Structures are given as structure tokens and as C-alpha cells.
Structure 1
Amino acid sequence: MNRTKTTVAAGEQELKSVYAIRRAVFVQEQGVSEEEEYDEHEESSDHVLVYYDGQPVGTGRLRVLDSKAKLERVCILPEYRKYGLGREVMTALEEAARSKGLSHAKLHAQTHARDFYTKLGYEQVSEEFMEADIPHVAMVKPL
């Protein structure tokens, strides 16, 4: 039995789940302000939602920026981080980007997650910088 399902969030209930997961991870766990976490790009972005045993437990966001896929807000609830769901979110985001005709992806990785993205084929292209008071690096990948 497949315990996971990944989908592009559609409808108010799925978007509420997206925002609740991001609130739990970025606002409550990591201390990012709600003003920084939720921005003017929410409605124009595609949001991916991953379910585990029917429960929404992870998400990520895709927006188009400079003809590239900008992958953002990738997170998994802490108790589900051992199941490879981050990889599922990234695969779904990359597939969504390809379906829009985009051939390159970029992201700002928290430095503690750099190795995760490197294993997925992303290459670091910047020095470390601060975003929401958290160290990040810019990374890119051809799709």
C-alpha cells in the first residue's frame, strides 16, 4: 500500500493545510515572523502538498521568476521527516515547473539543508547569506 500522495494544492481546504504546515515549521519551529512567511506571491504560486497516511504533512511552493522555477517554502512536519517526503515534494515541484515549460530551477536553501538539495542535483552558486535571520545559500539545477 502506498502511504504517500503528492498533489498540487487546489481549493481552500488544501491551501489551509499548506499554510498550517508552514506555520508549524517556519513560524513556530524556526521563529520566522508571519509577515515574512506569508507574502504577496501566495496566490500567484503553485503549492504542492504531500500526504502521509491521508494526513497533509509537507509542502513547497513554485513561482516563476526570471523565466526560472523558484522553489520556496519547502518543509515537512518534524515527526514525518524520516520518510523521504522532502524528496517527493521536490519531485512534484520540479514536475510542475517542467509542465510550465521551465528548464531551470533555483532556490534559497537553509544551510542545514544544503546536503539534501545537493543529493537532488542542485549546485550551490552563492556565498552564505541571511534570510529571515537564517543562514541560506542560493542553489540551481537544470530541469
Structure 2
Amino acid sequence: MEAVIVKNKQQLEDAYFVREEVFIKEQNVSPEEEMDHFDQDSSHLVIYDGTEPIGAGRLRIVDGFGKLERICVLKSHRSIGVGNLIIQALEKEAAKQGSAQFMLNAQTQAVPFYEKHGYKVVSEEFLDANIPHVKMVKKQPFQV
């Protein structure tokens, strides 16, 4: 598996493909909510298994934090470390962009996964796209 920071149109389409499969088709998020205005100003990541896109995520710098967003893995490739690769690659990219602290809005069912990566819940539960979420942060220094 390979983590690639999107640099061309095909890679971006591959990242969008994974997001569409997971969020729009599987979780019934509306396309308008999933593909938002932040996409144009974000760094995008796609995970490939050979030439097949299997995971994706995006990154924005918000108030000094690297904000990890739209983290998703195709159902067929879950529980084999793809999510770990996404987190590591997005944190590394955020560090390259000058951020040593990270945040994300996690679906509540995914909180234990993010806690394993050092994230802590810092909010009450809220709905995003009709799915329960919490805000999580990770503030320890990160080495590039």
C-alpha cells in the first residue's frame, strides 16, 4: 500500500471515488455535504493498493492545527492498517506545513481507533451529516 499526497487530477478523482463509496453510498451523506467548498483549499491524500484507490483523507490548517478530515477506507480493505497509514501520512503532511498539533471530528463509533493514535475527545457529541461525532485533538510534538 502507498500513501500519496494528491498532485494531479487523476489522484484527486481517485480520492473522491473512495469518499463517494464510503460517505455517499455507504453512509448516505448527501453529495452536497460530502463535497464541500473546503475541498478546493485542502491537501488531499489517496491510499493505493497497487493501482486501486482504497483509502482517502484531506487536510486543512485551521487555527494552527492540522485538521484531518474525510478519512475513509473502502469496506473491502478495512482492518488491515489502511486507516493507520492515512493518519500517519496526514499528520506528516500537516507537520511539513508547520503544524505540530492535530484535530479531527470523529464519528463516535471511530473514537477508539483515534484514541490509539493519541487523540483525546474534547467536545460533547454533535451531529454532522446526521451522524454522531465528537471533536478530538492531539497536541504532542510530531517529528517529520
Q: TM-score range by the shorter chain?
A: over 0.9
Q: Which runs of 5+ in 1 are unaligned?
A: none
SS at match of 1:82: coil
Q: Look up the equivalent residue of 1:9 and give its one-letter code.
A: V
Cα shift readout 1:95-132 (whole Å, capped 9, x = no counterpart): 00000111111000000100000000000001111110
Q: 2:57 aligns to what?
A: 60
User: Are 2:132 and 1:135 equivalent residues in the alignment?
Assistant: yes
| CA distances 1:2-54 after superposition (whole Å, capped 9, x unpaired) | xx111101111010011111000000000000010011111110011111133
- Asked whether 1:50 is paired with 2:67, we answer no
- Counterpart of 2:123 in structure 1 is 126
1: CA distance between counterparts of 2:8 and 2:120? 34
Equivalence for 1:9: 6
CA RMSD between the two structures: 0.8
Q: Does 2:23 align with 1:26?
A: yes
In 1: Cα distance, 2:54 partner to 2:3 partner: 10
- 1:7, 1:15 → 2: CA distance? 10
Take 1:53 and 1:113, find their aligned partners in 2: how far apart are those partners? 26
Q: Which amino acid aligns with 2:51?
A: G
The equivalent of 1:70 in structure 2 is 67
What is the distance in 1 between the residues matched to 2:93 and 2:80? 22
Which residue does the alignment assign to 2:114? 117
Aligned to 1:100: 97
